[in-house]
Chain A
Amino acid sequence: MKKQWLKLFAGVISFVLVLTACGGAKEEQKAADGKQNEELPPVELVWNFPLSAIPQDLATVQEAVNKITKEKINATVKLQAHTFADYNQKMNTIVASGEKYDVAWVANWNWDYLQNQSKGAFLELDDLIQQNAPDLLKSMPDFVWDAAKIQGKIYAIPNYQTVTKKEGFVIQKRFADIYNLDVSSIKKFEDIEPFLKQIKEGESPDVVPFLNDKSGRFSLMYQSQGLEAINNVVGVELQNPDKPINLFETPQYKHYLDVMRDWYTKGYINENAATLKNKNDIIKTGNAAVQFHNVLKPGGEVEAKAANGGNDVIYVPITDAYASTGTVITTMQSISKNSKNPERAMMFINLLNTDKELYNAISYGVEGKHYKKVSDNVVQINKDGGYAPNANWVFGNTFNAYLVEGMDPSVMEQTKKENETAQKSPLMGFKFDNTPVMAEIANLATVIDEHLPGLDTGTVDPNTNLKVFQDKLKQAGIDKVIEEMAKQIEAWKQTK
């Protein structure tokens, strides 16, 4: 009997040993292929970033990237790409388990910058930037750096791109032409109504005069309403930026609801709006005649044309360019607190933002394989090449990128100009830490999910339902959130 047990035990042990042996062999190999150059010892950096899909041919690009980094900072970089959907969970697990990595992409809409900074995931970067990346500071305007600061310190380096937003309409050009839309007459969002009427009367029922969806349009028009949102419930009046208010109790919101209800009953809004999750399915058909959007950036019409099923669109902005904390910190690179080589990681981020060769290698891949050069500064992307991330804002300073064929060459200049001349938010740099009111935030989210889609799309009557919505928000503890925010704004002003 005993002997049998010993046998079994031995069997299990040897099985486990085989498993561990399988995993271990890999790492030694990598350390071996470094060559000595300069006085810097060779290191390997690990970089986590998200993309729409993990590219098939990442290995070739990694090789190309490493050739450049090896020569310039004697470091190799391991590219760890994730998808946008997985990124938050993946990074949370990696950080919580203490797994080693050096650089990670971070933002305010995915793997939250503030939350993870307060967890202590990031290294403070001010000194590292001074020592290792002096050019970096000069490559971006000051307000961009202000936006990235948490309690006066920089914890992540923004990837410089469009840092502004501009609200307005995206209109199908063919309809604008047919009905002779006078673009200069549109100053407020209500001004589009006569045009919607013409479309409703003149076009087939398949055409949606004004596209709306589950999330409503009010959250896209804060700026034109003289508001700035700090989270999805609480914001400030731009006239009075020290006093947080409930966005859903503003007269602007009531007015918006009345207009939407009117449009909905007249049939200008798609009937399924309150349940529509993915509006792109409608946009793709080119049947969305008028959309409201909050990021009308220079040259965006080209991208919008592709999204609208190849139909030409025109932009009709109703505000000027505007920059706030939220528009800047949408894409950044951070360095892990557990990084063994923070200096080298900083040099690498510096290269990403200043070295055109490296930046274009990571953005577009290898020449000849993943893209073709049409002229000196213009590339044509090979969609079947196995590497077409099509999101160069994930990697670094987008002003260093080659132009993609079909893009207007003046776009970069215009973007830069808008960035520099944009109206700046009075709360630039302020970030709301919601940890003290977590429970309230969760309750509010539930209330919003329940009531907002119906109201914001005009599907239900605001006269009876808005009051219910506001009362429920009160019960869910919105006042506590407002109070907390007022406190934090006060404290933030002290540190400035």
Chain B
Amino acid sequence: MSTIQVTINKKAAKSSLASKKSSWSSRIINLFFCALSILLIIPLILVISISFTDEKTLLQHGYHLLPEKFSLEAYSLIFKSPGVLLNAYGITILVTVIGTVIGLFLTSLTAYTISRKDYRYRKPMTLYVFFTTLFSGGLVPFYIMVTQYLHLKDTMWALIVPYLLSPFYILVMKGFLDKIPLEVIESGKIDGASEWRIFFTIVLPLSLPALVTIGLFISFQYWNDWWLGLLFIDDQKLVPLQLMLYRVMSTIEYLSNNMSTVNVSIDMTQFPSLSARMAMAVLAAGPMMIVFPMLQRFFISGLTVGSVKG
């Protein structure tokens, strides 16, 4: 969504540069976005810097934007036994890819169905989808459903299935598909195309921008998720990346808040040091940071292609 706005702003900036009158406003807009970008980038730089700082200087002098005393110890510690991290990576990538493909397919199928004006039950169906955004069964029924009826506990499907269909994405997709004129579909029918063929060769290519946007949402949801793993995964071989990070962080926080008054002993030194934790965060976020800007070109061109055609 924000990419659209950025392109619009860029375009606005370009056209306004021609006339000197509005160059002031474009400067303000540019300044605003510069400031915003800096605000977003600084924490990221801080994380990277901490991950490269010597642990002891870190504790004594706090955080700095540039490492005070450069050290690769945190990374060498992690790469000494990279098996766990690589395994978690594999799980997250697999879940993200499978989840996005199947999720996108099911979302567009559902949205297409309830967007067709010649479908008699589209109103009740839409209400049915919309209803679930307002009311849900709650955590425990959800847990019972997944573990006792679908028997997904400790399988990779537990990380995928619950996010396959999100009513919000269905409704966004439906909003887009509503704009495809029924005549286009009818013309396909007249030419003798089957429903599947219409869907795959006419509807999907026309809705490419929506597919890209929603596909991106879905893949981020899968990539960033630790919640499903927390609930359903006990097998260490199936732990996704974010859950691995989340567990380290939350356990440290929990213990430092709760342990001071309890007479059980926990060796806090066994946890990864601050720089090691940040190094893990960098390694977890890293690929997405590289992949996303590379793909972004396609997203933008995808969006514009769609807008011209639509």
Contact = CB atoms under 8 A, between A and B. Distances in A.
B290 to A, nearest CB: 28
B270 to A, nearest CB: 6
A154 to B, nearest CB: 20
Interface in B253-310: 253-258, 260-271, 274
B75 interface: no
A294 interface: yes
B252 A20 contact: no
Contact of B263 (A26, A81, A164): A164
Given A8-B109, A53-B247, A285-B59, A219 B261 contact: yes
Contacts of A1: 195
Contacts of A22: 152, 155, 157
B71 to A, nearest CB: 16
Which 8 A-B pairs have CB atoms at the shortest separation, nearest pair first?
A23-B151, A85-B250, A85-B254, A278-B256, A295-B263, A4-B195, A85-B251, A96-B140
B257 A277 contact: yes
A86 B252 CA distance: 12
Interface residues of A, number: 64
B144 A98 contact: yes
A68 to B, nearest CB: 22
A107 B274 CA distance: 29
Interface in B141-172: 143-144, 147-148, 150-155, 157, 161
A393 B148 contact: no
A81 B152 CA distance: 19
Contacts of A90: 230-231
Interface of A: 1, 4, 7-8, 19-20, 22-24, 26, 52-54, 56, 58, 80-81, 83-86, 89-90, 93, 96-99, 107, 109-110, 161-165, 206, 215, 219-220, 277-282, 284-285, 287, 294-295, 297, 300, 303, 306-307, 327, 330-331, 384, 388, 390-391, 393
A54 to B, nearest CB: 6
Contact of B250 (A54, A83, A99, A287): A83
Interface of B: 56, 59-60, 81, 84, 109, 139-140, 143-144, 147-148, 150-155, 157, 161, 194-196, 230-231, 234, 236, 247-248, 250-258, 260-271, 274
A164 B264 CA distance: 10
Contacts of A52: 251, 255, 266-267, 270-271
B247 A86 contact: yes
Contacts of A56: 84, 236
Given A54-B236, A287-B60, 13 more contacts: A19-B161, A20-B151, A22-B157, A53-B251, A86-B250, A97-B147, A294-B261, A297-B265, A300-B265, A303-B267, A384-B81, A388-B270, A390-B270
Contacts of A58: 236
Contacts, number: 139
Contacts of A279: 256
Contacts of A295: 262-263
A109 B254 CA distance: 11
B266 A391 contact: yes
A266 to B, nearest CB: 23
Given A19-B161, A97-B144, A390 B60 contact: no
A26 B155 CA distance: 10
Nearest to B139: A93
Nearest to B140: A96
22 contacts: A1-B195, A7-B196, A19-B150, A22-B155, A23-B151, A52-B255, A53-B251, A54-B247, A56-B84, A109-B261, A278-B252, A281-B59, A285-B56, A294-B261, A295-B262, A297-B265, A300-B265, A307-B268, A307-B269, A330-B262, A331-B264, A391-B265
Contacts of B258: 84, 109-110
A306 B251 contact: no
Given A23-B157, A97-B147, A330-B264, A277 B256 contact: yes
A341 to B, nearest CB: 20
Given A19-B152, A83-B247, A284-B59, A390 B143 contact: no
B74 to A, nearest CB: 15
B157 A4 contact: no
Nearest to A297: B263
